[in-house]
Amino acid sequence: MKITDVKVIPANSFLFVKVFTDEGIYGVGESGDWGFLMSSGEAIESFKTYLIGQDPLQIEHHWQYMYRCFHFRGAAVMGALSAIDIALWDITGKYYGVPVYQLLGGKCRDKVRTYYHVSGSTTEELVESCVKAKEAGYNAVGHLSPFLDEPRSKPYFETYAHMIDDAADRIRQVREAVGDDVDLCLELHRRLKPSEAIAFGHAVEKYTPYFLEDPCTPDNFDSMALIANRINVPIATGERIHTPQEFEMLLERNAVAYVRTSVCVCGGITGARKIAAIAEAHNAQIVPHNPLSPISTAACLQVAASIENFAIQELPDHNTVSATERYTSSNKIQNTNFKQSDMVTWVPTVEHGFANLPTAPGIGADLIPDVDKKYPFNRRTINTRLHIDGSIVDQ
C-alpha cells in the first residue's frame, strides 16, 4: 500500500487533512494550530512532498522523518505533523479492521470520563452553567474561569484584592451550587503572575478544585514549578507546548500533575503516547486538550482508551460553534443553526459523564463529503484583550 495524495481541507473554523492510498483506504486528521491554521496547512503541503509514494503503515518512521527533517518546529509544523499522524493511524486501523486503540495495546477502560465546558460573563451565568452541566449528568466541569469569560472588547481593570477574592468567592458559589458530586477544573488562561497564582491557589484550596490550569504563561517552566511547589492544588498545563522533551522538562521540575497534551499539536497519537509514557514515569496523569472538532475528539478518545495514566477528557459541545470561537470572540456569538456534529459521521454519546468509545475501524469518525464546500473556512481574526491602560491582558 502506498500514499497517493495528501489533501488539506479547511472547513468552518478547523483544518483537516485526508491522506489517500492506492488501495482505496484514506485517513483523516486535524491540526490544532487553531490560531494560525493556514500556516499549518502550508506545512502539510511541504510534508506531502515526502509522503507521496510512502507506505502509510510505517507510522513511527514517518513521524521521526517529519519531526527531524528541517530542524525547526513550532505549533504550525507540529500541528501539521499531528494531523498527518492521526490520518496515518486512521488508515492503519481501517487496514487491519480495528479501532486504533486495539493497535496501541488494547483498551485500559471501557468508557472515558469527560468534563463539560462551562462559561459565564457574570457570576450568576457561571454558576447556572455549572448547575446545568450537573443536571445533564456530568460529574466534572472544565473551562471554568474564576475570572469570568468577559468579552475581549471590554477593557479590563480590577484591584488585586477584588481579582483574588472575587474569583475565589465565585468558586465557593459554584461548589455550593453543585456540591461535591462535580469536580471543578479551573481554567486560569495564563492570566496571573506567579505570586498572584500562589495567592489564588491558597484562597481557593478549601473548595477542592480538581486542578488549576495554566495559572501563568507556560513559557518559563521554572515559574510553573514555583507555583506548583507553593500551593496544594494540582497544576495542569501543556496545551501550548509541542514536544516530548518540553514535557519532560516540566515533569522533571515537578511543575505539573495533570499533563494537557494537545493531541492535534503535540505530534498526534504517536506524540501523545510518547508524552504519556514520560508522564507515567513521573506519576503524572494525562488530560488531553481538546477545543477542536469531533475529529480531534475521536483521536483523543483513542489515546484516552489506551493509556493507563489517563485522568479525564476535555469534551467541547459539538452541537454548536467551535470552542475557540466561543471563547475568543469580541462579543457573544450570534445564535446559529450550525453544529460541528453536522460536519462528521460520528460524535460520542455521554452517559453520567462518561463518553462511549468509537468502535469503527480507525479513529472512528470521518468528514462528510464536500465538508469544505458546505462549511466554508473562516479565518480567525486577531483579537486580544486590553487593560484599561492600553496594555495587553492574558485571557
Q: Which residues are catalytic, by number?
A: 189, 289
Q: 139-176: string of b/e by CB count within 10 Å (b at 16+)?
A: bbbbbbbbbbbeebeeebeeeeeebbeebbbbbeebbe
Q: What is the rounded CA–CA span in Å between residue 23 and residue 358?
A: 24
Instruction: Please state, in angstroms and rounded to a whole number, the distance separating the CA atoms of residues 351 and 24.
Output: 36
Q: Which of 240, 238, 226 is nearest to 287 (CA)?
A: 238
Please give the C-alpha separations between residue 168 and each of 133, 164, 203, 204, 212, in angstroms, as whole numbers: 20, 6, 6, 5, 12
Comparing CA positions, the residue from 201, 189, 176 lying closest to residue 142 is 189
Three cell numbers written together for 294: 469531533
Strand order in the sheet with 26-30: 3-11, 14-21, 26-30
Phi, psi of 140 (to 5 degrees): -155, 145
Which grid coordinates are listed for 156?
479590563
How far apart are alpha carbons 287 and 269 in whole angstroms? 14
CA separation (Å) from 54 to 21, 40, 65? 9, 21, 12
**How far is it, in rounded angstroms, from Cα 229 to Cα 71?**
34
Q: What share of the chain is helix, strand, coil (3-state, %, to 5)?
A: 40, 15, 40
Eight-class DSSP state of 319: T
Contacts within 8 Å (CB) and 24+ apart, 158-165: 160/196, 163/196, 164/196, 164/199, 164/200, 164/203, 165/203
